[in-house]
Amino acid sequence: MASDRPTLPPVRLRAEAELARAALAAPLLAGAVRLARWAGPQTRVGAGGELADDQLPAAAEVLGLEPDDDGAAHASEAWRVAVDTGLVTVPEPEGDEDEAAGVTAGEQLALLTKGSPADVLAVWLDGFDAVFADATAPVFDELADLIGEDGEIDVAKLDWDPEAETAFLEGVLGNLYLLTVSEGGSGEGPVPLPALAASMIVPDDMGEPTDDVLEQVSEAMMRLDDQFRVLEPIGLVEYQPVDEALMAEEGEEPVPSVDDEDVSRYGMVRLTPLGLYGIRTRMLEAGVDAPAVGDLTGKGPEALLDGVAHYPSEAARGEVELWLAGREPVAAARELLAAARGADEGSPLRRLHCQQALSLVGAEAEPAVREVLDDPELGGLARVWLAERGAADVPAPPEAMIFWLAVDTIAAQLEMDGDLEELQDLIEGLTGRHDGFFDAVWRVEHPATADVLEAMGRLHRDKRIAKEARKSAFKARSRTDD
């Protein structure tokens, strides 16, 4: 396996303008904007920038909420986002004063109407960071129990490790991201909360979870239930909470059911397109390789073919289509063919992806393809491409080219780590189609000849032919060692 493969599959992000519209529509940011426009010289705040208690009911009404405790709590959360994103600038109380008046509009507020989509998303990301911090903050069941003799909160009594809490939630969101972007993963569908909690708790090599592990999963579920309720209003996820009736049925921490019909009662979560953007941005800031379809658009053909080498098929196709857009077909085909040459370890896979990319160029690539018919590395690829398109006057390949192409094709498939049965079928098809296959192949001047023959010896289902492949591999190594 190549060491430079991306850590994660590439994500297909929505356009920045669409993401910016989603950010502005997120309930929490939208509420923060409304409060920022409402605030003024008479607005009073505490030492931490929080709204004065007696102003919360009015703030709730600005948000279209009842001026009760719930409305005040929602208003307080929206105000916190307004402060943390720079939508408002708050004064600090002077001297012994507990409050100060004179809130002004922050510089970021104007960006939401006059700035670019990127500006809007930058503000939203600041809001996401603030909400993430809230989601990992400790929950005070009995605040009085946490007050020390000096009247301050005794941190030691919190039983809270901020680094562990952050790592846990980042791990959960990372797993949710991977499930969403992986080919064959959850895609657009929601993920059951028990499965997400289990991905963080249950060891990969554990068969049947123990009672202790199931209890940990249940605790993690309830923790995540609280956290996703906090994260949903910023537009990161769509979340169906744990059915509160389960608490009464099964106690404070319900054990997940294995009944698929009931699994939705235990919570379901899905990353939104905006959420994908937000999680990927955090990953990139943390140094994680999290590619996106379109990253290679402005790069050269070598970077394209190497970059898509281990992409899932749909992502690779999308990346190539974006790269080809706006390029002149014949010139693009020539660039791709030139980039496919080489004797390095990654060259067989580049040639395979070059052939696939040329199929997206279409018939207009034919002049460039015919130019390489006599090329020892590209001539076989060119003939296959022309034959697949039903082109006329395709010259028969020399025997040496046939076997060179066979080695190159298998080398590419081995590097892809694809379906084992498909690879075995390919190997057995090649050996069955040509008499004296191994007697010819071990002489092929290709850097991967010996490795390919050794792989054929491992993978061929006919023991006699597998043994013949291993003998040929020994001959090939002996020839190159001389």
pLDDT at position 102 is 86
- Maximum CA extent, the chain: 96
pLDDT at position 458 is 93
Structure token pair of residue 10: 């590439």
What pLDDT band is residue 247 in, cutting at 50, 70 and 90? Answer: low
Q: Residue length, the chain?
A: 482
Query: pTM for the full model?
Result: 0.83
pLDDT at position 431 is 86
Q: Is the C-alpha dihedral spanning 400, 401, 404, 410 positive or negative?
A: negative
Spell out a b/e string for 451-464, using b for 16 or more CB atoms within 10 Å of the CB, else e.
bbbbbbbebbeeee
**pLDDT tens per residue across span 296-313:** 999 999 999 999 988 888
The yes-or-no verdict on residue 27 having pLDDT over 90 is: yes
Nearest to 452 by CA among 418, 419, 404, 398: 404
Q: What angle do CA 412, 418, 421 make, to 5 degrees?
A: 110
The CA-atom distances, in angstroms, between 445 and each of 42, 353, 401 are 83, 22, 10
CA 87 to chain centre: 30
Return the residue matching tokens 């920045």.
16
**pLDDT tens per residue across span 156-208:** 656 667 888 999 999 999 999 999 988 644 456 799 999 899 888 887 777 77
What pLDDT band is residue 58 in, cutting at 50, 70 and 90? Answer: very high
SS (H, E, C) 295-336: CCCCCCHHHHHHHHHHCCHHHHHHHHHHHHCCCCHHHHHHHH
Decide if 227 contacts 138 (C-beta within 8 A). Answer: no
Mean pLDDT, all residues of the chain:
88
Helix (H) or strand (E) holding 226: helix 211-231
Q: Rounded to an integer, what distance in angstroms lies between the CA atom of residue 194 and that of residue 3?
A: 33
Average pLDDT of span 53-78: 95
Decide if 216 contacts 43 (C-beta within 8 A). Answer: no
